[in-house]
Amino acid sequence: MLTVDNLKNINGKVVIVRVDFNVPLKDGKIRDDNRVRAALPTIQKLVSEGAKVVLLSHLGKIKHKEAPEVVEAQKAKNNLAVVAPRLSELLGKEVAFVGATRGEEFEAAVAKLNAGDVLLVQNTRYEKGEEKNDPELAKAWAKVADAYVMDAFGSAHRAHASTYGIPEILKAEGKQVACGYLVEKEIANLTRCVNVADKDRPYVAILGGLKVSDKIKVIDSLLKKCDKILIGGAMAYTFKKALGQSTGNSPVELDQLDYALKCLKEANGRIVLPVDSVCTNGFEGWTEKIVSEEVPEGFEGMDIGPKTAELFADEIAKAKLIFWNGPMGVFEQKDFANGTIAICKAVAKLNDCFSVCGGGDSAAAIKEFGYKDSFSHVSTGGGASLEMIENDGHLPGVDILK
């Protein structure tokens, strides 16, 4: 696989770079510009080589099947124009923006570029064919490009027109396709969690968060690689329910109970579940908070309890390799942040351990609690890092570059 460093003769050539500018917005402003910063090294390198840099990214979700006025509202909310001034500030140079995602206006904006110029294109998901990898759309983009660089690790698990269709066409035409610095670094670090070396054992995975049906599938693969899997967050309650424990009003995925049982059986003691939870009588505006082994009727589990935090910390203390995805509780509320902080503290104590944390909320949590530097690697892709483990190191958006 080529990297940006291996690209040849790109001076004055159009290079499409798929970046991940899917930034969190609040009141129409960028709340956290981490993802924009993460793309800078690749963009700067291409600029310094005199490429005409055309940036493609998605932002948020646009459901094209909804009524037209709903789609329009989603487009207005996810207008990528907001990123151009911030990127311009960070790069210290002008960044042009084009509101058209293909056609005359788009092509004219590309044609206007001089060597070393940067153009940001409107949200790729304004196009209904983006997520379907529509060949016509991919063609419309590939047509203007002399080369392609993939630097959107957070989108590498999706075979969309901008992540897969373009490099597929360019490769067939004998043009250069490469990964950017961010993708290169992510792959190098995450590969360690996929192909586990003997010296990296015990390997401990920590799973939590809320997207249970998305994440629970990875447990099968983790069981093949890990020595222990610690499960907290909302996901724990599906497992506790499967074991016949009371879970009150905690979020439980009823259609995953059989799968959870199957995993527990296969794990043969290697899955560690919470032995206590911080429970409340409501998600917001609760009036009672208790610590309990099982979640009583009328309550819901909001965080792992103190005994569980200790139990998990003991497992983490033995680890040589850690992969963590998903907070242990509703960390956004101070009362339920302790479980997630306990994991951070346990990782911070390790000297000789390679620790990876992925997931948008997980990364935000460790940053907020001041533990970002305690991790060997904080991944910019939650779904992508999970899928890389699930698919034994393969991601469509990376494989197509090879």
Interface contacts to ligand ADP, rule CB under 6 A: 208-211, 233-234, 251, 301-302, 325-327, 329-332, 359-362, 382
Q: What is the DSSP letter of 147?
A: E
Amino acid at 395: L
Give yes or no for residue 361 binding Mg ion (CB under 5 A): yes
Nearer to ligand ADP, 87 or 302 (CB): 302
360 is catalytic: yes
Of residues 151, 183, 182, the one with CA closest to residue 15: 151
Give yes or no for residue 381 binding Mg ion (CB under 5 A): no
Contact 208, 260 (CB under 8 A): no
Q: How far is the CB of 302 from ligand ADP (least distance, A)?
A: 5
Nearer to ligand ADP, 382 or 396 (CB): 382
Residue located via tokens 């393969």? 394
**How far from chain centre, in Å, is Cα 266?**
28
| C-alpha distances out from residue 94 to 50, 78, 87, Å | 15, 22, 9
383 is catalytic: yes
Nearer to ligand ADP, 74 or 362 (CB): 362
Secondary structure (DSSP) of 239-252: HHHHTT--BTTS--
**Which residue's Cβ has the minimum distance to ligand ADP?**
359
Give yes or no for residue 180 binding Mg ion (CB under 5 A): no
Instruction: Say which entry of Mg ion, ligand ADP, none residue 117 contacts (CB below 5 to 8 A, set by partner kind).
Output: none
Give yes or no for residue 383 binding Mg ion (CB under 5 A): no
Of residues 184, 234, 142, the one with CA closest to residue 45: 184
Task: Report residue 183 as tokens.
Answer: 């993708």
How far apart, in whole angstroms, are the C-alpha atoms of residue 292 and residue 173? 62
Nearer to ligand ADP, 87 or 363 (CB): 363
The single residue of 192, 211, 289, 345 carrying the catalytic annotation is 211
Give yes or no for residue 360 binding Mg ion (CB under 5 A): yes
125 is catalytic: no
233 is catalytic: no
Instruction: Say which entry of ligand ADP, Mg ion, none residue 330 contacts (CB below 5 to 8 A, set by partner kind).
Output: ligand ADP
Number of separate helices (H) and strands (E) present in the chain: 16, 18
Nearer to Mg ion, 20 or 361 (CB): 361
Secondary structure (DSSP) of 68-116: HHHHHHHHHHT-GGGHHHHHHHHHTS--EEES-SSSHHHHHHHHTPPTT
Q: How far is the CB of 369 from ligand ADP (least distance, A)?
A: 14
Span of 117-125, 150-158, 263-271, 355-363 interacting with Mg ion by CB under 5 A? 355-363
Q: How far is the CB of 361 from Mg ion (least distance, A)?
A: 4
The residues that touch Mg ion, with contacts defined as CB under 5 A, are 360-361
Residues serving a catalytic function are 35, 211, 360, 383
